């Protein structure tokens, strides 16, 4: 495997600016199942194995799980800001620096608890919206400004982004386990 394949095992993110109802449903299912999918992936993995990396220079399984909690906490805030304000500008964060903070050495159970709570709330919130993009009144048309992207991001696109992010990092966990962190 080349480094790019190891880095992006499910491919790079491709924005879908007009997802079909079927794609939105699949993405919501991905978001809903992420906590249980991560729990299943690490079932039987030892504390030592949580320190395996998914690629040379990549994060450990432990860091990936803590990153998912950090990222998806930010995600629900972005959704709620867009639902409650007119095109708010969100605050990006330096994920690589966050991944080096002391809390990323903690037991992954703390972040698994966060993921479970955030994803339960997020999917409940999203399923309560009008998910029909053909309806101009659908909340999925609401947007926030992402300074790093330099543009407005719709909630429909953000659902797809976080579904991709979920698959992306779940694949990293599987990859680290498959290769026993040996790269």
Q: How confident is the model at residue 87 (pLDDT cuts 50, 70, 90)?
A: very high
Per-residue pLDDT tens digits for 24-78: 999 999 999 999 999 999 999 999 999 999 999 999 999 999 999 999 999 999 9
Cβ–Cβ contacts within 10 Å for residue 137, how many? 7
Give the chain's radius of gyration (CA, Å).
17
pTM: 0.96
Sign of CA dihedral 38, 69, 175, 105: negative
DSSP structure string for 103-118: GGGS-HHHHHHHHHHH
How far apart CA 117 and CA 102 sit, in angstroms, is: 22
Annotation: CATH topology of 20-178:
1.20.120
């Amino acid at each position: 495997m080349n480094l790019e394949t190891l880095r992006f095992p499910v491919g790079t993110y491709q924005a879908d600016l007009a997802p079909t109802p079927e794609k939105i449903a699949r993405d919501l299912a991905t978001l809903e199942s992420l906590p249980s999918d991560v729990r299943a992936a690490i079932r039987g993995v030892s504390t030592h194995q949580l320190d395996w990396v998914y690629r040379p220079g990549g994060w450990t399984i432990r860091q990936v799980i803590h990153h998912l909690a950090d990222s998806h906490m930010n995600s629900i805030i972005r959704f709620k800001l867009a639902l409650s304000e007119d095109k708010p500008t969100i605050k990006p964060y330096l994920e690589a620096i966050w991944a080096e903070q002391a809390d990323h050495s903690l037991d992954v159970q703390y972040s698994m608890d966060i993921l479970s709570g955030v994803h339960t709330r997020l999917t409940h919130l999203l399923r309560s919206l009008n998910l029909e993009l053909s309806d101009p009144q659908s909340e999925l048309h609401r947007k926030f400004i992402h300074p790093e992207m330099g543009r407005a991001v719709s909630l429909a696109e953000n659902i797809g982004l976080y579904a991709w992010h979920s698959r992306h990092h779940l694949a990293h966990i599987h990859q680290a386990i498959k290769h026993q962190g040996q790269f």
